[in-house]
Amino acid sequence: MMLLNASRRSAPLLLCACLGLAGCGPKPDTHPGQPVTKRRAVLQETLRTFEPMGVILRGRDAYVPEKFLALAVKLQALSTRPWTYFPPGSTYAPSRAKPAVWRQPAQFKQAQDTYVKAAADLAAAAKTGNLDQIRPAYARVRESCAACHKTFRGPSVL
């Protein structure tokens, strides 16, 4: 009986807590053109394309040349898309772009070019079907992402 009374008293608190947390989701992007929302969507699609290739190269999934090639070609196509969504002033939440994106535009452009070339090289390597050529090309894409993130990506702006 005592347990039943305790649950009746805590039910309103639990309900209030749930309702309070329901409003904690991400705020809608109301900025003109929604650049952060758009670049995040492209970069998330890029990640969903890139990760399966790593799973294959680590031997956790079967290497099917046609499947890998399709992923590499898609990654190459995606590699040029996010950069237009970095206009000045797009550092609002939930952006993770550091101010260096706009303070060092030449370096940011160089990082983009390095990544785009690495993605093209990976697609070319994937066309050969030769894993000995694909692995280093994949590593160069991974390294270009990591280098750019180190300089130009930080914690979420909240």
**CATH number of the domain within which 94 lies:** 1.20.120.10
Q: Report, as an integer, the average pLDDT of 13-42.
A: 67
Q: Report, as an integer, the average pLDDT of 85-100.
A: 92
Q: pLDDT confidence of 92, banded at 50, 70, 90?
A: confident
Give how many domains the chain has, as a whole number: 1
- Residue 22 has what pLDDT? 44
- Rounded Cα distance between 64 and 134, Å, is 13
Rg value, the chain, Cα: 22
Q: Judge whether residue 6 has pLDDT over 60.
A: no
Q: Is residue 111 situated within a structural domain?
A: yes
Question: What's the token pair of residue 156?
Answer: 């979420």
- Residue 11 has what pLDDT? 46
Q: Which domain holds residue 115?
A: 32-152
Q: Is residue 81 situated within a structural domain?
A: yes
Q: Is residue 22 situated within a structural domain?
A: no
Amino acid found at 114: T
pLDDT (tens digit per residue) in 97-146: 999 999 999 999 999 999 999 999 999 999 999 999 999 999 999 999 99
Q: Report, as an integer, the average pLDDT of 14-34.
A: 57
Q: Is residue 25 situated within a structural domain?
A: no
Most confident range, picked from 11-15, 27-31, 153-157: 153-157
- Residue 13 has what pLDDT? 46
